Amino acid sequence: MTIEIKVPALPESVTDATLVGWHKKTGEPVTRDENLVDLETDKVVLEVPAPASGTIVRIVAEDGATVEAGDLLAILEEGEAAVAVAAAPEKEKEPPVEPVAVQNKGPIKTSPAVRRLLDEHDLDATMVTGTGKDGRLTKADVMAFLKADDSSNVTPGDPAPVVVDDSAVQGLARNEQRVAMTRLRARIAQRLVEAQQTAAMLTTFNEVDLTEVMALRSRYRDEFEKKHGVRLGFMSFFTMAAVEALKRFPVVNASVEGTDIVYHNYYDIGIAVSSDRGLMVPVIRDVDQMSFADFEAALNALAKKAQDGTISMEDLTGGTFTITNGGIFGSMMSTPILNQPQSAILGMHTIQQRPMVVDGEIMPRPMMYLALTYDHRIIDGKEAVQFLVAIKDQLEDPSRLLLQV
């Protein structure tokens, strides 16, 4: 039986996706639920699994194509008989269908990626012939137009341009490479710029002595891992301290919606995670109801999903406060940007031994700078400073975390 493989329903507010790459070729056998192709949206990468075991007999949408929900991606021949179809002589196969160019007329629907490419080169969509569905423009159409336009600028009969080998003069070739942003990277860029243009962002700093946290972690690390099956990291200490501080200063856990301040009586904490596809902020929900072990397990699971590219829209939405740790890359100090519509974000940094005055004596201490970027439209400087002090107090005396004082 022949099965059509189509683009699945896309997440809410996402209109189209880019076909990142096929994991199978025409004629290759597949098994049920095996991932066939990756589709990248503005927010996540979606996998399209095989609906049944069989053989891919035709691929309709190629790498780089812009597709919408319901568009045809490939044809699958179900069952063992499909192998014979795939092995048939080339002349007996259905000839490939070439894309039909459709001259664009009137308003043209384009994807965000295509619109950006048109804007970059000051092009009107009506200038380009679309080969996509119903004459839809694809990135490949725009790139082909630009390439043809460049070649047309050479007048017949003109002398060939003289190519100068810079390497002979400078001893080193000077090369450039232009790579289009992925949809995820473009979306990240858009959100960061929107945050800077919308919120009245201000950052305040403090520093924390982690002597007691490091001693407590060192004392119970092995026993903790043996009992719970997860490592005891610094992030759980900071997150639990942040939640306690959020309880004391609810506006830091609030969000801005138009002219309203929305106060949340729950604590869904976003943890910034770096992945091959860019920065992601998966959300751990109801952290105030978690133990240290529960939090570490949830964080590890989400970090793995981010690295594997299997993270879902549900994992990335709905946070009330965000924590980012640039210290793992060696950052000494930074001013993080808000993850809107949240009103604040906490930045952690690298731990360094520095000379500090303790009880009148100078001694080395493991110190970390903390940064809180907040929306000054709803959070006053006093609240921001007191919020950081509350975190500092709990980390410098971790027993406060257990007693919630």
Q: Which amino acids are annotated catalytic?
A: 376, 380
DSSP state of 399: H
Measured CA to CA, the distance from residue 255 to residue 342 in angstroms comes to: 5
DSSP state of 47: E
The sign of the dihedral angle between the CA atoms of 228, 234, 240, 241 is positive
DSSP state of 320: S
Measured CA to CA, the distance from residue 360 to residue 353 in angstroms comes to: 18
What are the C-alpha distances in Å from 297 to residues 236, 272, 293, 327? 10, 16, 6, 21
Burial class (CB in 10 A: 0-12, 13-18, 19+), 278: middle
**CA 374 to chain centroid:** 22
Query: Phi, psi (5° rounding) for residue 394?
Result: -70, -35
What are the C-alpha distances in Å from 360 to residues 34, 335, 355, 357, 363? 65, 32, 12, 6, 10
Burial class (CB in 10 A: 0-12, 13-18, 19+), 288: middle
Nearest CA-CA partner of 277 in 191, 187, 182: 182
3-state secondary structure 117-179: HHHHCCCCHHHCCECCHHHCCCHHHHHHHHHHHHHHCCCCCCCCCCCCCHHHHHCCCCCCCCC
Measured CA to CA, the distance from residue 378 to residue 392 in angstroms comes to: 23
CB 213, CB 201: distance < 8 Å: no
User: How many degrees, rounded to 5, is the angle at CA 246 between CA 388 and CA 320?
Assistant: 115
